[in-house]
Amino acid sequence: MSSNATVVWVLDLTVVVFAREAVNNSGMNGISSTPTATSYALRWWRRRVVLIPLFSVYLVLLAYLGFRLFLYLRYDVSPVTHTSTLDGYQLIYPELFKSGVLDILQDDSDTTCDVVLIGGSTLEQTADEIEKQLRYAWGDDVRVYNLAKAAHTSRDTLFKFRKLPERGIDLVVLYDGFNDIRMNCVPTADFKGDYTHCNWYVDMERRLQKRGTGMQELVTRDLKAIGTLIDLGQPSDEWLDEGATVKSTEPFRENIAAILRTCRDRNIPVVLMTFPWYLPSNYTAEKLANGELDYGKGAYRMHAESWGRPENINRTMTAHNEVIHELAAEPEFASTVRFVDQVELLSASGTHFSDPCHFTPAGIERFAKNLAEKVERP
């Protein structure tokens, strides 16, 4: 007798024993133990023996399909692929894969003007208007790929840029500097030029070095602070004053310069822009919360302390914009850099700003028009 047959025989015997016991109990309670009752009891037990494993298979299949849907919605992984792992870039920067930029044709058959935007939330909120203004100025065959993401710094911009196709991109637009302010809110002794004093970049480096991230790690993924590392978001109150010492100037310069060097070598035009911001002279977080400042209405309303002390924001952004001016003037980048001085062209007022760095609808339109008017189609 085979092992399968033995299992079935044992199950049948067990069912018969339980069924007869059920029937006997029924008889004891005044219910007739007829053959019909016995057959019904046997069928009842056999049905459950079959349904329990089938239901278990159903639950496993449901969980798997749910996970595949999660991969598709969060990381743009095709449901028809069989992979259950993601490379580091797909996990950390899903916008690279969702935007379609990695599928740009790298030959002369593509006549579309492909423009890539990389930066933080301020550039992210202007992406649609930029595409609209560029199409108005350059023609309808402009296609914009928005890789800008809230809270990301120039370090993230560099890593995203490294993943882009070597050919097929007609213009890269960079707009960074404000989120790098947060990196200064740490004691000088703990500051690191690659920003790995921030837990986001420790996690990023680790995941980009791994060959893949599996299902268990995706489900249990966290970006909790490690030891005394800072977060990517709002600085802790304890270290806000550490931002008085501007430590990000050279890392910011190196991150942007690395991109410019690659664009020069690949002959890709790249737009550098100064970063305007607005902090009223009477700014306080309380006045912002009470609507007592002249900020306009917009999608964002964040207090300055989301990045640092107001005076430290002014000091750091002045330094970062000086870096942009200096890089734009470098002779080695002259052939590829297109410079737009947004600080000069976009007035710092409540007409254009809804908080220290984000725009009102009028600010979005002015920002996009400045870009379209100052940069010729490549």
Q: How far is CA 107 from CA 37, 103, 159, 168, in A?
A: 77, 12, 24, 7
The pLDDT, as a whole number, for residue 35 is 55
Predicted pLDDT of residue 208: 80
Q: Who's near 67: CB < 8 A, 6+ residues apart?
A: 84, 215
The answer to whether the beta carbons of residues 277 and 358 sit under 8 Å apart is no
Strand order in the sheet with 142-146: 142-146, 113-119, 171-175, 270-273, 337-340
* End-to-end CA gap in the chain: 79
Closest CA to 167 of 95, 262, 266: 266
pLDDT for res 222? 45
**Token digits of residue 57:** 């298979």
pTM of the model: 0.78
Residues 354 and 280: beta-carbon distance below 8 Å: no
CA distance 171 to 144: 9
Question: Which token pair is 183?
Answer: 């990196």
Mean pLDDT by 10 residues, the chain (378 residues): 46 48 47 57 66 67 60 54 67 93 85 97 98 98 97 97 96 98 97 96 84 54 48 88 98 98 98 98 96 97 97 98 98 98 98 98 98 97
147-157 burial by CB neighbour count: b if 16+ within 10 A, else e? bbbeebbbbbb
**Pair type for strands 171-175 and 337-340:** unpaired
Predicted local distance difference test score (pLDDT) of residue 255: 98
Q: What span, in angstroms and rounded, lies between the C-alpha atoms of 234 and 230?
A: 9
Q: Where are the domains of the chain?
A: 3-75, 88-374
DSSP letters of 93-143?
A: -THHHHSSGGG---STT--SEEEEEEESHHHHTTHHHHHHHHHHHH-TTEE
The Cα–Cα gap between 360 and 196 comes to 33
**Cα(92)–Cα(207) distance, rounded to whole angstroms?**
8
| CATH assignment, 88-374 | 3.40.50.1110
How many Å apart are CA 330 and CA 64, to the nearest integer? 54
Amino acid at the residue 105: L
